[in-house]
A and B are shown apart, each in its own frame.
Chain A
Amino acid sequence: MKFACLILLTLLAVGVSAQVSDRRLLNAGSEPQNWLTYSGTYQSQRYSTLNQITPLNATNLEIKWIFQTDSVQKLETTPLVVNGIMYITQPPNDIVALDAKTGRVFWIFHYPTAPNAHLCCGLVNRGLAILGDSLFMGTVDGHVVAVDANDGQLLWDDYVGDKNYNYGLTEAPLVVKDKVIIAVAGAEFGIRGFVAAYSAERGEQLWKFNTIPGPGEPGNETWPADTWQRGGGSSWMTGSFDPELNLIFWGIGNPWPDWDPESREGDNLYSDSAVALDPDTGKLKWYFQFTPNDGMDLDSIQVPVLADIALNGTTRKVILWANRNGFFYVLDRATGRFLRGNPFIKETWATGLDENGRPIRAAGLRASVEGTEIFPGVQGGTNWYSPSYSPHTGLFYVSAWQDYSAVYVKVPSVTGRPAGVQPRSPLPSLARGPLNTWTEDAGHGEVQALIHAPALKNGPSKWMT
C-alpha cells in the first residue's frame, strides 16, 4: 500500500476536519450532532433538532458511560462536542478531551490555579469556546488561556485581571469572528467589572468595555462620589451574538456592596443590565437596566436568548430574558426597547413595571433592623441556569425558584466588619453559618421548571413541574 493511499484512507476514517471555522460557528444549528458554543448556537436557544429521544422513549434511557472528575468542586461545565470529541472542564480549570461515544479520556490539560485564587462561591468553571483547532478558557485566577484541541498543549496564556483585586473568570468565552470574548467575576469583592475581547490567535486584548462607567462617561453620574471605582458589575455567564445586527449581548451582574443600596444612591449603571456591544470595537450600542439601585443581589447575568417572534402581527427580533429579579422580559434586540414584562414567580419587591420596563418599587420594602421579608429570596426568581426556547412550541423554558423569600436585616458594625445588610434564608446557603429557621414560616421555596409563554401571549405560565 502506498503512502498516498494511506493518507487518503486516514482522512476517510477521520471524516471532516475537526477544525471549527467561523462559518461553522455561524451555522452551528445545522450541525445538531455537535455542540460548538456554550449555548449551542449564537442565538443561545439551546434547542436541538435531534429527534431520537422522544417523550415516549425517554424512560428507556440508561447510563452509557461515566467520567469521574478529579475534583471535589461543583461541576457546572457545559460540554462542547466536535466530531465525536467532547471537551469539558474539570474544576477549577482543567480541560478534558473525551471520546463522546465511550467516555474514554484522550488527554487532560492541567491548569495550576494560583493558591490565592479567590471567588465568592466556589472555584467553578462553566466551559469552553472553540475556533479552528484552539480551545479557550477563562480561569478562576484571572487568566484567559488557549489550548490546542488536538494535543492539549497550551498555546497562549494572558493574565487579564488585576493582582490587587479578586478577579476570576468562570463563564465560558464566546468566539465571535476572530475574537475571544469573555467577562470577569468578582463583584462580591468590589471589583470594577468588564467585558473584553482577545485575539484568538495570540491572546492580546483588543478591546475592553468597563461595565461601570468612569468619570466623563455616560452613566457615571448614577454613582455617588467614587463608588464607581468598586461598583462591581461583574459578569459570569456567556453572552449571545446576532450576526445580522453585528451585536453581542451580555448580562451584567450586581453592584457592590451587594445588599447595601443606600451606600450608592442612584441607578448604578450598568449593573443588573443587558448591554449590546459592537463585537469589533466593544462600543456600547444600547443598554436596558432591569434593576436600578439593586439591594438584593439580583444579577442580570442570565444567558440572553435570541428569537424572532410575531408580536402584534409583526415579526420582531427580540431577546427573551427571565431575570433573577422575578420578571420575564421581551426586549427589542436592535434597540433595547422594552416590549413586555411580567413576573414569572412570586415577587414582592416591585408592584410592576412601568411602560419603559423600569420596576415600580414596593413602598417601604427595604432592609430593616427588625428584618424585612422580600420575595424572591437570595437566589432570585432564577439564576445562572440556562433557559431555552423552542421555535417549535413558541415556549420559553426556565428553572425557577417559586414561593421563596429572604429576610433582609440591617446589622451593626462588628469587629472587622462595618455595618451593612445581611439576607437570611434557610436555602440555599446551607454551607455558610448556622441555619436560620426564622424564615421557615415564610417558606423557602422549591426549584421548579417553569415553561413560560408570555413572549407570545403576555399570559400566564403554561405549566410547572
Chain B
Amino acid sequence: MKWIPAFGRSCSWRYFVCVAAPLFLVFNFPLHAQQMQKDYRQFEIDAGASIYSSQCVECHTDGGGVPGVNFNTGQFRHSLSDEDMLAVIRNGVPGTAMPPHNLPGSDLVALVAYVRSMAQDNTSVVKLGDPAKGKELFENAGQCLSCHRVNGRGSRMALNLSDAGTLHSPSFLRHALLDPNALAAQIPESRLLRVETINGTVVAGRRLNEDTFTLQLMSEDGHLVPLEKKNLRSVMILKDSPMPSLKGKFSDEQISDLVAYLASLKSALPQNIFTRFGSPDGIGNGFPTTTGRGTGPAAATATPAVGAPAGAAGNQNPGGTR
C-alpha cells in the first residue's frame, strides 16, 4: 500500500487499514433507457454541445456536476425515453433547481442528442446475477459493511452505497469491484488520508472536503473531524484504493451477483433528496462542486393563500411568521 505526501515531510506508512469491502458504487438498470434512445447524427450532437455550453454547463459541468445526476452513466431519474428527457429540459423538475427552458424544439432535440452522447459506458453488456445472493456476499463473505454503509447499516469509513444503483451503471460497478485502483482517483472524497498534527497526534480517515486552509475528514469511527492545515505537520494520501480487487477471490457468477445487488441499491429516498459535501459555492473547495440549486426550490416562491377555507378573510398574515 503506497502513501504519497500531500504536503509536509514525507514519510512512509506501511500498515494501514486494508479493508475488505466493496466499493463506492451503486447501480441502475440501463436497459430501458438504452432501448428508448434514438440514433442521432453528428451535427445534432455538435449543435447540442454548443447549447449545453451556454445553458447547462454552469450546473451540470461535464455531466457529473449535480449530485445524484451523472450524464456519463446514461442513467436518469426522471427520463426513460428521449421524449421524457426533452420534457424535463423544457419543463424543469419541480422542487429542484432544474428550471424550465424556453428553447426551440430543434434546440431541445439537439440537447437530448448531446446528453445521450455523454454516456461513456452504456454500451457495455454486463451480466446481472442474483441480487439476493449478491446481498448475502456483500454482508457476509465480502465483509463489505466493515467499510461501506447501506441504508443505515455498516461503517462510514468508505462511501455510502445506499444509492449506488442510481449513481452508477452496472458496468462501472463491475469495473470497480475488479479494479478498484483504476477508479479510486475518480472519487476524490473516497481517498484515505493519514494526518499528523504539529503536536504529534495522528488522525486517519476519509477525506470529505479540502481547501487551502482546512481539511475535513470522516474518521474511521465515523465522525466528522475538522482540521486546519496550519496545525498539521504532514498529510499523507493513500495512493491506492484500500479496497482489494475481487478478481480471483470470487467467481464470475458471484461478481455478477454482487453487481446485481449493488445495481439494485436505489435508495427509497424521495427523488431529489441528496447530500452534497463541500462548500455550496465551490469556492476554495478542492473538488468539483456546483450550486445545483439556484435560489431554492420552486416551492419557495409558492403563491399566496389561494384555496384557503371559506372564511379565511382578508390579509393572510400580518402576524408575521409561523
Contacts and interface: CB of A to CB of B under 8 A. Distances in A.
Are both chains from one complex?
yes
B300 A13 contact: no
A9 B314 contact: no
Nearest to A299: B319
Given A123-B299, A411-B313, A101 B226 contact: yes
Contacts of A221: none
Contacts of A422: 313-315
Contact residues of A: prevailing secondary structure: loop
Contacts of B211: 104
Interface residues of B, number: 75
Contacts of B95: 112-115
Given A123-B300, A417-B313, A420-B313, A106 B201 contact: no
A378 B321 CA distance: 11
Contacts of A187: 322
Contacts of B225: 13-14
Nearest to A420: B313
B265 interface: no
Given A3-B16, A115-B297, A151-B149, A110 B275 contact: yes
A157 B152 CA distance: 13
Interface string B8-36: 00000101110000000000000000000
B213 interface: yes
B321 A76 contact: yes
A253 B322 CA distance: 9
B79 interface: no
A108 B275 contact: yes
B311 A257 contact: yes
A258 B319 contact: yes
Given A151-B149, A433-B315, A115 B298 contact: yes
Contacts of B219: 10, 13-14
A380 B247 CA distance: 70
A378 B297 contact: no
Interface string A116-156: 11111111100000000100000011000000101111110
B309 A110 contact: no
Contact residues of B: prevailing secondary structure: loop
A374 interface: no
Nearest to A7: B220
A30 interface: no
Given A3-B16, A108-B280, A189-B308, A10 B299 contact: no
Contacts of B322: 119-121, 168, 170, 185-188, 234, 236, 253
Contacts of B299: 92, 113-117, 123, 140-141
A109 B208 CA distance: 14
A394 to B, nearest CB: 30
Contacts of A253: 322
A3 B17 CA distance: 6
Interface string B280-322: 1100000000010101111110100100111111111111111
A139 B197 CA distance: 41
A153 B318 contact: no
Contacts of B208: 106-107
Given A92-B300, A150-B222, A151-B218, A112 B270 contact: yes
A74 interface: yes
A58 interface: no
14 contacts: A3-B15, A6-B16, A13-B201, A99-B226, A107-B278, A110-B67, A110-B275, A112-B95, A121-B317, A123-B300, A378-B320, A379-B318, A422-B315, A432-B318
Interface of A: 1-3, 6-7, 9-14, 17-18, 68, 70-74, 76, 84-85, 91-92, 97, 99, 101-102, 104-124, 133, 140-141, 148, 150-155, 157, 166, 168, 170, 185-190, 230, 234, 236, 253-254, 256-260, 263, 297, 299, 378-380, 383-384, 406, 411, 417-423, 425, 428-429, 432-433
